[in-house]
Amino acid sequence: MFTVFRRLLVCLLWLWLPLSQAADTGWLRAADNQHASVRLRAQTENSGETRLLLDVTLQKGWKTYWRSPGEGGIAPAITWHQPLEALWRWPTPERFDVAGITTQGYHGDVSFPITLRGNVPERLSGVLTLSTCSNVCILTDYPFSLDLTVSTGGDFDYDYNRAMGTLPLSSGLTSALSARYASGKLTVTAQRDAGWQQPSLFIDSMDDIDFGKPSFSVRDGTLTATVPVSDSWGETAPNLSGKTLSLVLADSGQAQESSLLIGQGSSATAPALGWVLLMALVGGLILNVMPCVLPVLAMKLGTLMQTEHQARGQVRRQFLASVCGIVMSFLALALMMTVLRLGNQALGWGIQFQNPWFIAAMALVMVLFSASLLGLFEIRLPSSASTFLATRGGNGLAGHFWQGAFATLLATPCTAPFLGTAVSVALAAPLPLLWGIFLAMGIGMSLPWLLVVAWPGLAQRLPRPGRWMNTVRVVLGLMMLGSSLWLLSLLGVHIGTLPVITLGVVLILILLLVTAWRYRWQTALRAGALAIVVAGAVTFVTGSGGENSRRDRVNWQPLSEQAIARALAENKRVFVDVTADWCVTCKANIYNVLLRDDVQDALSAPDIVALRGDWSRPSASISQFLTTRGSAAVPFNQIYGPGLPQGHVLPALLSREAVLTTLSDAKGK
């Protein structure tokens, strides 16, 4: 009986003790914003310090912002009617990526603990300004008044301490943390003994500095976060070395807030820039032997063979004009990319091949060149124009200039192994570096011509003109015709397959009729028979003849960020393939690697989700997907999985070993 009485007495005492109560504004709402509700509560401690708690409730799909919102938004703020010193404390935020803009903030319910210091009056009043965003953004003012002498119900201590529990700690997450800056990139390195699962990084803003979305890599417990840095105009940022960096690093429900000095990037970054320029130079050189450019170079060779003797100065001027055409075309591409970037448009190597009018124009030009080489007609300028070019340019230097420019335009759908990396760096780099890389690509593609400029005797060592040149001209014309038919096939995604086939048949018939008119019907019939044999052979090799060994059995699904996140949540591996019909390297990757039986079996495994994005036509989602990964060219292949949660980007030119090994690594332990 005594035990029961004692317990009853304890319960009565517990009910009698008052809860920690505070002044309360109640839930405030604005007539022009029904998506958010706010409440302020305050309590003055015996020490004289006043604690304030700001509660924000947001409807689903709406968000508000952290103290550093990122690339958009406004942080919550209070304008006091009295002079007060307010210390805001900010819970660990989240990152939101919408339409290429990355922001830092909160959704759902969030509470901000605030401490008021100094001479706090008995009645607090002011205006809370809150920015809330969904598809649209609303900036709302909430006038409020708090009478600290009047307390309402609720356990203020419990709610305040719970809000304090959402704040990042000053230590405990990392055992080592450092930051370095070099060449427009901030690198944060963090060591965590327990390892990293899903890290996130939030950086406080600096004056005239914009921090982009960080990319993460984890190796042996060390997290490396790379953050692109630019000024507020999107140009090269000033040197951040020696400045103080304030950041919040979070992982698996834990967060740590730190301030540290930014160190100078190591000297290894300088060779990295040199390596990129070297890759651009070598990539431009390799373009000369790509099937996109080879017909134009063959035409150049045919032009030289038509002239038996040329003076050294004349040869030098002709080749120098071609070099100028190549370099100026690359600089024109750099200018186009600059205008697109400043206009916040999609960037990409070869994006002009997404335009059907450009493809049609290029195909028409190639057909005319082919017909000219086959001897079906000759392009003759008026005598006055020929005299003008001869006296002003040395045997028509303008023609040699445009040959170089034309070769450059045809080179853009080709992405050599070295060129893909250089282009990706260029289109995401500061504008001066972009121009430097494009200039290096132009010089690289011009190297064979520069050799002739330096030693004109090389051009004069070509075989003497003779009957064999007629055969060479036919071969060169057929190469041109093949290139024009390939360009014509690219129109299929724009106008349909049947119209393209019809145009191709009409084109061949016109060429045969012109051949019969220019020469004889027997020649036209032999050419037609040869065309049928070649078309049949190509159809057999690429179609039914190789169907058993080159059939795509992979269940490709549309590419999206949501599909990647969903697959990773289900503990699956993801293979990403971004391709385009006009991308020659993409076709080589598919035929030489992705259609191999062992690769097909690997991509058809039950725990693999194969995602494919087609960039043959303009696509804002695919452009954004590539941009967020620091790429602006296709092919692009990436593999995710439990062992590679941040994804691993494969080389532009795929290999069977790289694909299978990375898929195995993606399984994890």
Which pLDDT belongs to residue 352? Answer: 62
Which pLDDT belongs to residue 344? Answer: 46
Which pLDDT belongs to residue 307? Answer: 47
Backbone angles phi, psi at 134, to 5 degrees: -135, -115
CA–CA gap between residue 420 and residue 425 (Å, rounded): 9
Beta bridge mates, 256: 169, 249
Taking the chain (669 residues) in runs of 10, the rounded mean pLDDT of each run is 45 44 87 92 82 94 92 90 90 83 90 89 92 89 90 81 91 87 84 87 88 84 86 67 88 90 54 67 71 56 51 71 83 76 55 71 73 62 43 56 70 55 59 80 79 64 54 66 75 80 82 74 66 58 46 91 87 92 82 91 94 86 76 84 86 89 87
Burial status of residue 636 (CB atoms within 10 A of its CB: 0-12, 13-18, 19 or more): buried
CA–CA gap between residue 408 and residue 445 (Å, rounded): 8
Which pLDDT belongs to residue 452? Answer: 67
Which pLDDT belongs to residue 121? Answer: 87
Which pLDDT belongs to residue 392? Answer: 43
Which pLDDT belongs to residue 171? Answer: 86
Which pLDDT belongs to residue 540? Answer: 54
- Domains in the chain, start-ordered, CATH in brackets? 23-164 (2.60.40.1250), 176-266 (2.60.40), 271-354+380-464 (no CATH), 557-665 (3.40.30.10)
Beta bridge mates, 540: none
3-class SS of residue 186: strand
Which pLDDT belongs to residue 340? Answer: 64
Beta bridge mates, 56: 38, 110
* Cα four-point dihedral sign 272, 277, 282, 287: positive
Buried b (16+ CB within 10 A) or exposed e, 191-220: ebeeebeebbbbbbbbeebbbbbbbbebee
CA–CA gap between residue 194 and residue 464 (Å, rounded): 74
CA–CA gap between residue 347 and residue 339 (Å, rounded): 10
Tell me the pTM. 0.46
Which pLDDT belongs to residue 113? Answer: 96
CA distances from 101 to 72, 424, 456 (A): 7, 20, 53
